[in-house]
A and B are shown apart, each in its own frame.
Chain A
Amino acid sequence: MSEQLVTDRPAGRPAGQTRSSAKKVRHAVSATLLWLVALLFLAPLIYTVATSLKPASDVFSVPPSLWGKEIRWQNYADALDYLPFHKFILNGLLVATAGTLITLVAASMSAYAFARLKFRGRNVLFAAFLATLMIPQEVLVVPMFSLMQEFGWVDSYQALILPWAFTAFGVFLMRQFFLTIPQELADAATVDGAGKFRTFFSVMLPLARPSLAVLAVFTFINYWNSFLWPLIITNSVEDKGTVPLGLSLFFSQQGSQWNLVMAASVISMVPTLLLLVMLRKHLVSGIATTGMGGR
């Protein structure tokens, strides 16, 4: 029935000339409204950028205005200099990059084992991996702190990186991908004389690049934004602090200097926005297959 109706469609068109133009108007109104909603939604971020460029005296000007008397780029230089904010950025990049690399290697390797190798207890082990996904981070952070004390890792980079680099989530994501690669490909590599490791590194991993990219972006963003754990484990914020910690320290010390706080906020958002733009085409499919961990 539906087929017939679909084929009927072009024939029905000329009759409804006025009706279709009314439809066009309605669609244009709807599109305009939707973009207005999007603009309103972005207002806080626009306000952030605007405030970050105002001189201090114009931040709470009456009446409120988007722009100050001058565009003050100096705010950004001041924000970077005030606390060692550039240090927070370097720390953040170091922690997020190292954490992402370890996650990618560990997750893709074990995912390959779960998807393509046969060994005793595979299903039980995989189920155990999945079960760890249910544990909220809050249950883990308290004992994790004690564990870090035992290791002597309090206030260290490895404490920021390692505890969250082994996620069942990444394993699950990569396993789902490896399952879609035809077994024949691996078999062909084996017939050609490649061992398990060659097959993995030179056949499987290159094929997995899109999935690895999705995992990398989400992992990097999670590390970059992470707040609760760095807050707990970092004592010397000025030395080991990541960007969110630095921001909150900046705010507690310079809370009245909103223009500088907002400049620092904008800086903290830039890497995540760049990654978002890079990933935009794969965003919907990426979310559908992965689900990014909640915050």
Chain B
Amino acid sequence: MSTQSTTAPARERPAQGGPPRSKKSWRDSDATAATVFAAPSTIGLTVFTVVPIVMSLVMSFYNWPAFGERSLTGTGNFSALLGSPEFRRVVLNTVVFTVLYLPLNLLVSLGLSVWIATMRRGRQALRVIFFVPVVTPIVANVLVWKMIYQPNGLIDGIGQQVGIDMPNFLGDPNWAMIALVTMSVWQGFGYNLLVFSAAIDSIPASLNEAASLDGVGPWQRFRHITLPMISPSMFFATTMTLITTFQVFAQPYLLTGGGPGATTETLVLFIYREGFANFALGMAAAGAWVLFAIILVITALQFLFQKKWVTYDV
């Protein structure tokens, strides 16, 4: 038995004046109960998370077809990936998507959350409205936008009406990525909007009132009160959004199929195709580790630079 489990309860119990026998059974039952309580999650996480992680590492060093003979290739998968122009293109596409998506998402969600906070009525309703596409199935969301972007679809239809020639958003290499980002921002920013709303709600009203009566304008109040007060939330939102943005899949899979050409082929789409269209599971596993490495490096960088702009104590 551990020292921790014997000393800590013993310190608390005497106050209750329990007899020594009950003290002992309390201790014993703690360890027994803990085993039973923690078992389902621990076993589940071991089988369905730890084992797959180890498997994934092993697989990435193998030529591992979904069906048939496996053979060790060492770092073959990784060097094949890093040497392949297709893979570099896919990484570049994912970076481009992120560079466009992240600032847009943050700008829209921050702007709207600040705007909504100035409302006297309907704040909750507005927040729920902007959150709707976050919870509706992404497949449904994507299909709606496919119809909006289509030739003769909503945008093109309106364009024809007013006499503007609309491009084929999903078929034009110059527009496909923009269409993808726009749709993704629409469906995703409601989440960060709620994160920022929660942070704004927790700013003491007296701070803004005092500044306002001192003649500080709205922009200055935003710049010097709101922004520093919600900077921890902005850090959280930026970090989480970056991680999920690198994993974008359903939008390119359904909206453009990665096309036209390979202009919207993203990393996860590539991993999916390698694994489950080409059945090269080893290659897919290696691709997934490259993705994970990129995410880790970026997250680490964010944590390093957070001191420069995140205010934790006001």
Closest to B245 in A: A294
B8 touches A118 (CB 8 A): yes
Min CB gap A186→B, angstroms = 11
Residue among A125, A143, A272 with max Cβ neighbours from chain B (10 Å)? A143
Closest to A43 in B: B154
Stretch at the interface among B78-86, B172-180, B209-217, B302-310: B209-217
Residues of chain A within 8 A of B207, CB atoms compared: 2
- Is A176 interfacial (CB 8 A cutoff)? no
A62 touches B186 (CB 8 A): no
Residues of chain A within 8 A of B31, CB atoms compared: 119-120
Residues of chain A within 8 A of B291, CB atoms compared: 136, 138-139
A196 touches B244 (CB 8 A): no
B145 touches A44 (CB 8 A): yes
- Is B48 interfacial (CB 8 A cutoff)? yes
Does more than half of chain A's interface fall in helix, strand or loop, or is it mixed?
A: helix
Residues of chain A within 8 A of B48, CB atoms compared: 140, 144, 147, 162-166
Question: Contact string, A42-80, partner B, CB cutoff 8 A, digits 1/0?
Answer: 101101100100000000101110000000000000000
- Is B278 interfacial (CB 8 A cutoff)? no
Binding site for A on B (CB under 8 A): 1-2, 4-5, 8-9, 12, 16, 18, 26, 29-45, 48-53, 55-56, 59, 64, 66, 112, 115-116, 118-122, 124, 126-141, 143-148, 152-154, 157-158, 160-161, 186, 191, 194-195, 197-199, 201, 206-207, 209-210, 213-214, 236, 240-241, 243-244, 246-247, 249-250, 254, 268, 271-272, 275-276, 281, 284-285, 288-289, 291-292, 295-296
Residues of chain B within 8 A of A140, CB atoms compared: 48-49, 52-53, 56
Mark out the residues of chain A between 223 and 279 whose CB falls within 8 Å of any chain B CB in the assembled complex: 224-225, 227-228, 231-232, 243-244, 247-248, 251, 258, 261-262, 265-266, 268-269, 272-273, 275-277
Mark out the residues of chain A between 128 and 161 whose CB falls within 8 Å of any chain B CB in the assembled complex: 129, 132, 134-147, 149
Mark out the residues of chain A between 169 and 197 whose CB falls within 8 Å of any chain B CB in the assembled complex: 171, 183, 187, 190-191, 195-197
Closest to B210 in A: A2
A224 touches B137 (CB 8 A): yes
B140 touches A265 (CB 8 A): yes
Residues of chain A within 8 A of B206, CB atoms compared: 2-3, 6
Separation of A247 and B296 alpha carbons in the complex (Å): 34
Min CB gap A127→B, angstroms = 13
Separation of A272 and B131 alpha carbons in the complex (Å): 11
Closest to B153 in A: A60
Separation of A273 and B112 alpha carbons in the complex (Å): 21
A5 touches B213 (CB 8 A): yes
Separation of A134 and B50 alpha carbons in the complex (Å): 12
Count the A-B residue pairs with Cβ separation under 8 angstroms: how many? 323
- Which of B112, B241, B243 contacts A136, CB < 8 Å? B243
A125 touches B240 (CB 8 A): no
- Which of B34, B42, B53, B194 contacts A287, CB < 8 Å? B194
- Which of B4, B126, B145, B210 contacts A38, CB < 8 Å? B126
B41 touches A196 (CB 8 A): no
Known: A118-B9, A120-B4, A283-B128. A64 touches B147 (CB 8 A): no
- Is A117 interfacial (CB 8 A cutoff)? yes
Closest to A195 in B: B29
Known: A30-B118, A265-B143. A8 touches B213 (CB 8 A): yes
Beyond A110-B39, A117-B30, A284-B198, 19 additional contacts (C-beta under 8 Å) are: A34-B119, A35-B126, A113-B33, A118-B30, A120-B4, A129-B45, A135-B292, A138-B249, A143-B53, A147-B52, A166-B41, A195-B33, A196-B37, A227-B137, A247-B139, A258-B147, A265-B137, A269-B136, A273-B132
Closest to B198 in A: A288
Residue among B194, B199, B246 with max Cβ neighbours from chain A (10 Å)? B194
